């Protein structure tokens, strides 16, 4: 006989004992004069019945007002004794204990509690009990047993009967562990305890029959996971596992926090495999979204975990927090659970307002380290790629790396080729893409090192910036410079120079070299005249960009930067606060943040020291202007012989932005005339650019010698 068969036989024997009590009570009612054939029984009350009720002794049921004939009493006693004998035989032979025995032992049920549960359970297993209970309750519409009926079946009349009411109190095992629920009479919100009906929890019914099935309120959001590790769980949780393993012998309440949810799940699966117990995964965020009572859900889950010997795994714990404190009762219920519990969420939180004798063991799951990210990329993408730049430039979680590799393979299939490094970079950008579309403009980098023209020192600084971003993991993590000498992982830059000198182009060149997304934020659009609003706008941007791996390019910084002077009024003070706040958030940002200003003098030295790099973009000299003309003029544009870029550079002091505009204007003029671009077209473009800038146009300069 299997363990489940043995449990069912034990349950059946216990119900036979309850049947003997029910049959005895039915016979008593019959002897007391109740007519089962009376269609209106329970719906009307005659004078005689009213007198009989008034004369009935205190705490005595209708059936207990008469005595059974001795022979019948012996028959019912023999039926019950026979059932008890079978129960004892089955209990002695049960290895392991039957489910009903485990239920009683787990929740500390006394014999009366177990019998009351069986009375409530019977209609869920055989509908004939519904009619019998209706008869015994003198109301055919009441198909579930009331507390009064349970006392009639299991107690003798008198004061002892009333003492049994404590078994149905809120703190009694049956109710506290939600094995049965009390329901008031229809239409009543708080009926007398005796008239409340008892209903077994569906999960308890299913478990006693041999399988685990959570109740309807939890069914979609609670899952039983086998004690088995996934193939990559050891790798995903490698950094946090030593700390987790250290506390396992303590049977702890473990709190996972941090952004790397995949590593949290991997660690939870390893805990289950290590202990040989299943995980009971409860999605608290989904339950909260469905307006389910979180306390009831947790209490049900913790109870079920005890029944099935599983480890409760409560994810989405942030949904349980109000001002960084768990909702009332939740943590108390968790700490009252006798076994291990795993709580998982993003943020840390405070413990307040409860007395507890269990410690919480906190385990962080931040963005994996550079070495771990590199190992993850190699694991998922294979060893054929040099993945140092991917691991260094994209601070992704383990789950994002896994998903990015899957996306990269999709890109390769769509392209009809093998997986390439470019696919991995594109996928990494997609999976770290910030939600900045409403706050910033994404710029697709168009320029490379060959396109930008700057003095040698400025070019050297830009290349140093790229090298710094690429080598951050080695310097900050492997060489441990970040522990003492560097305040953050971010790289903060200042680009200063007149309009059109290449600040935006330099940002694009850096983004292209690093293969990172570039987002441009116009500071003039987020600065508010209302005190505190500018900081709120900046906070929204940095919050959305957090862990985005994007380069943030703050243009028009002159809108917020003013040279600090003596504070004369509140507006001066708050202007300085805005500047400090922006620099503080730039420093805290874990990526690259660039400030662009037309006048470096607007930023004083105290603030400049807080930036890692400052690049001055000078107005180009003649030789640089010539190189800009040559670099910007597309080779694909038809051009007439004799275009003299040297003459244009010598005569006209234009920055790169102005030169670009001239070339575009000339190209449109030539296209309209259906001719190649000539010097006349370029000179006309220069005229229009100078007029737009409000500068005088010398007609002599517009002639070609």
Nearest Cα neighbor of 335 from 315, 313, 354 is 354
Tell me what pLDDT residue 58 has.
63
Contacts of 699 (CB under 8 A, 6+ apart): none
End-to-end CA distance of the chain: 111
| 3-state class (DSSP) for residue 577 | helix
Percent of the chain exceeding pLDDT 70 equals: 90
Higher pLDDT, 602 or 581: 581
Give the DSSP H or E segment for 77.
helix 70-93
Q: What angle do CA 570, 576, 578 make, to 5 degrees?
A: 100
pLDDT in tens, 43-67: 556 666 665 665 666 666 666 667 7
Residue with token string 């680009």: 495
pLDDT at 1 over 70: no
DSSP 164: G
pLDDT of 319: 94
Neighbours of 173 (CB within 10 A): 17
The pLDDT tens digits for 63-84 are 666 778 888 889 888 998 898 8
pLDDT, position 526: 81
Query: In which band, very low, low, confident or very high, does the pLDDT at 339 lie, cut at 50, 70 and 90?
Result: very high
State the pLDDT confidence band at 501, using cuts at 50, 70 and 90: very high
DSSP 662-676: HHHHHHHHHHHHTS-
Q: Is 16 helix (H, G, I), strand (E, B) or coil?
A: helix
What was the pLDDT predicted at 162? 85
Q: Which residue has the tokens 């209903």?
A: 199
For the chain, how are helix, strand and coil distributed in percent, rounded to 5? 55, 10, 35
Which domains does the chain carry?
Answer: 3-208 (no CATH), 222-364 (3.40.50.300), 370-432 (1.10.8), 449-616 (3.40.50.300), 622-702 (1.10.8.60)
The pLDDT of 419-443, averaged and rounded, is 85
**Among positive and negative, which fits the CA dihedral 224, 229, 232, 234?**
positive
HSE (side-chain half, CA atoms, 13 Å) at 312? 30
**373-382 average pLDDT score:** 91
Mutual angle of helices 398-415 and 370-381, in 10-degree steps: 40
Give strand pairing partners of 183. 197
Band (pLDDT 50/70/90 cuts) for residue 34 is: low
Burial category of 691 from C-beta neighbours within 10 Å (exposed 0-12, middle 13-18, buried 19 and up): exposed
Report phi then psi at 438, rounded to 5. Answer: -85, -10
From the list 499, 494, 556, 493, the residue with the least C-alpha distance to 523 is: 556
Average pLDDT, the chain: 87
- Statement: residue 632 has pLDDT above 80: yes
Mean pLDDT throughout 464-479? 88
Residue range 625-639: average pLDDT? 94
90, 13 contact by CB (below 8 A): yes
The pLDDT tens digits for 533-580 are 888 888 888 888 887 889 999 988 777 765 444 444 444 444 566 777
For the segment 669-676, the average pLDDT, to the nearest whole number, is 95
Per-residue pLDDT of 179-227, as tens digits, reads: 999 998 876 666 789 989 999 999 999 999 999 999 887 888 999 999 9
Q: Which residue has the higher pLDDT, 91 or 339?
A: 339
Question: Which position has the higher pLDDT, 604 or 454?
Answer: 454
Contact (Cβ atoms closer than 8 angstroms) between residue 530 and residue 571:
no
pLDDT band for position 158 (cuts 50, 70, 90)? confident
Rounded to an integer, what distance in angstroms lies between the CA atom of residue 597 and that of residue 617? 10
Q: What is the pLDDT of residue 354?
A: 80
**Looking at per-residue confidence, does 384 or 568 come out higher?**
384
Predicted local confidence at residue 87, as pLDDT: 86
pLDDT at residue 37 above 80?
no
Burial of 55 (0-12, 13-18, 19+ CB in 10 A): exposed
Taking only Cα atoms into account, the Rg of the chain, rounded to an integer number of angstroms, comes to: 39
pLDDT value at position 27?
86
Burial class (CB in 10 A: 0-12, 13-18, 19+), 272: buried
Angle between helices 111-125 and 99-107 in degrees, nearest 10 = 130
Q: 66: closest CA among 102, 27, 108, 32? A: 32
What pLDDT score was predicted for residue 700?
76
User: Tokens 């303590």 — which residue?
Assistant: 250
Q: What is the DSSP string of 116-179?
A: HHHHHHHHHH-THHHHHHHHHTT-TT--SPBHHHHHHHH--SSHHHHHGGGGGSTTSHHHHTTS
Which of 29-43, 119-133, 250-264, 575-589 is predicted least confidently? 29-43
Confidence of residue 312 (pLDDT cuts 50, 70, 90): very high
Q: What is the pLDDT of residue 573?
A: 47
Higher per-residue confidence, 531 vs 113: 113
Asked if 551 and 518 touch (Cβ cutoff 8 Å), the reply is yes
Q: Considering the entire predicted model, what is its pTM?
A: 0.82
Between CA 312 and CA 303 the distance in angstroms is 10
Do you know the residue count of the chain? 705
Q: Quickly tell me which residue has 């893409």 as its tokens.
A: 433
In this predicted structure, which of 18-22, 335-339, 696-700 has the lowest mean pLDDT?
696-700
Across the range 332-349, mean pLDDT stands at 94
| pLDDT tens digits, 254-270 | 999 999 999 999 999 99
């Amino acid at each position: 006989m299997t363990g489940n068969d043995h449990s069912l036989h034990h349950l059946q024997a216990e119900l036979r004992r309850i049947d003997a009590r029910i049959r005895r009570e039915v016979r008593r009612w019959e002897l007391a004069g109740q007519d089962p054939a009376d269609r209106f029984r329970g719906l009307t009350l005659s004078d005689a019945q009213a007198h009989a009720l008034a004369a009935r002794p205190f705490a005595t049921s209708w059936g207990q007002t008469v005595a059974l004939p001795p022979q019948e009493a012996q028959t019912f006693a023999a039926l019950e004794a026979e059932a008890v004998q079978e129960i004892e035989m089955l209990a002695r032979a049960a290895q392991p204990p039957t489910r009903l025995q485990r239920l009683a032992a787990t929740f500390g049920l006394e014999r009366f509690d177990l019998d009351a549960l069986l009375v409530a359970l019977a209609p869920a297993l055989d509908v004939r009990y519904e009619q019998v209970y209706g008869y015994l309750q003198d109301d055919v519409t009441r198909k579930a047993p009331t507390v009064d009926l349970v006392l009639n079946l299991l107690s003798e009349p008198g004061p002892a009967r009333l003492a049994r009411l404590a078994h149905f109190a809120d703190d009694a095992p049956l109710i506290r562990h939600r094995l049965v629920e009390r329901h008031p009479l229809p239409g009543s919100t708080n009926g007398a305890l005796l008239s409340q009906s008892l209903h077994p929890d569906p999960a308890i019914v299913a478990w006693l029959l041999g399988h685990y099935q959570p109740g309807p309120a939890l069914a979609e959001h609670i899952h039983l996971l086998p004690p088995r590790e996934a193939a990559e769980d050891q790798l995903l949780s490698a950094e946090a596992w030593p700390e987790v393993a250290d506390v396992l012998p303590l049977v702890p309440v473990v709190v996972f926090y941090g952004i790397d949810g995949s590593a949290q799940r991997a660690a939870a699966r390893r805990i289950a495999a290590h202990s040989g117990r299943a995980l009971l995964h409860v999605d608290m965020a989904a339950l909260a979204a469905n307006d389910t009572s979180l306390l009831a859900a947790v209490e049900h889950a913790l109870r079920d975990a005890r029944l099935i010997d599983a480890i409760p795994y409560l994810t989405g714990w942030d949904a349980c927090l109000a001002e960084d404190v768990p909702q009332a009762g939740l943590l108390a219920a968790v700490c009252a659970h006798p076994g291990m519990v795993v709580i998982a969420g993003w943020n840390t939180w405070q413990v307040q307002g409860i007395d507890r004798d269990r410690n919480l063991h906190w385990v962080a799951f931040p963005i994996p380290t550079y070495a771990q990210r590199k190992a993850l990329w190699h694991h998922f993408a294979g060893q054929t790629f040099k993945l140092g730049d991917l691991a260094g430039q994209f601070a992704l979680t383990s789950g994002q790396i896994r998903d990015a590799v899957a996306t990269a393979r999709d890109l390769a299939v769509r392209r009809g080729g093998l997986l390439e490094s470019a696919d991995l970079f594109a996928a990494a950008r997609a999976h770290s893409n910030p939600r900045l579309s409403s706050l910033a403009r994404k710029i697709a980098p168009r320029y490379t090192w060959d396109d930008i023209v700057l003095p040698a020192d400025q070019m050297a600084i830009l290349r140093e910036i790229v090298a710094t971003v690429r080598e951050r993991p080695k310097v900050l993590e492997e060489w441990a410079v970040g522990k003492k000498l560097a305040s953050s992982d971010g790289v903060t830059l200042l680009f200063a120079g007149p309009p059109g000198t290449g600040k935006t182009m330099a940002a694009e060149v850096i983004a292209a070299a690093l293969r990172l997304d570039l987002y441009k934020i116009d500071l003039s659009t987020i600065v508010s005249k209302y005190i505190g609003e500018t900081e709120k706008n900046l906070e929204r941007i940095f919050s959305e960009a957090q862990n985005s791996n994007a380069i943030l390019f703050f243009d028009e910084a002159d809108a917020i930067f003013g040279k600090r002077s003596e504070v004369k009024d509140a507006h001066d003070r708050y202007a300085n606060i805005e500047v400090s706040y922006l620099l503080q958030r730039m420093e805290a940002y874990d990526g690259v943040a660039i400030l662009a200003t037309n006048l470096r003098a607007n930023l004083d030295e105290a603030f400049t020291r807080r930036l890692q790099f400052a690049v001055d973009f000078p107005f180009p000299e003649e030789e640089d202007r010539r190189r800009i003309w040559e670099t910007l003029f597309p080779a694909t544009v038809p051009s007439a012989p004799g275009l003299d870029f040297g003459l244009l550079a010598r005569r006209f002091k234009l920055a790169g932005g102005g030169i670009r505009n001239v070339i575009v204007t000339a190209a449109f003029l030539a296209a309209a005339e259906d001719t190649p671009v000539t010097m006349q077209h370029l000179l006309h473009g220069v005229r229009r650019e100078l007029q737009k800038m409000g500068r005088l146009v010398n007609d002599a300069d517009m002639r070609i010698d």
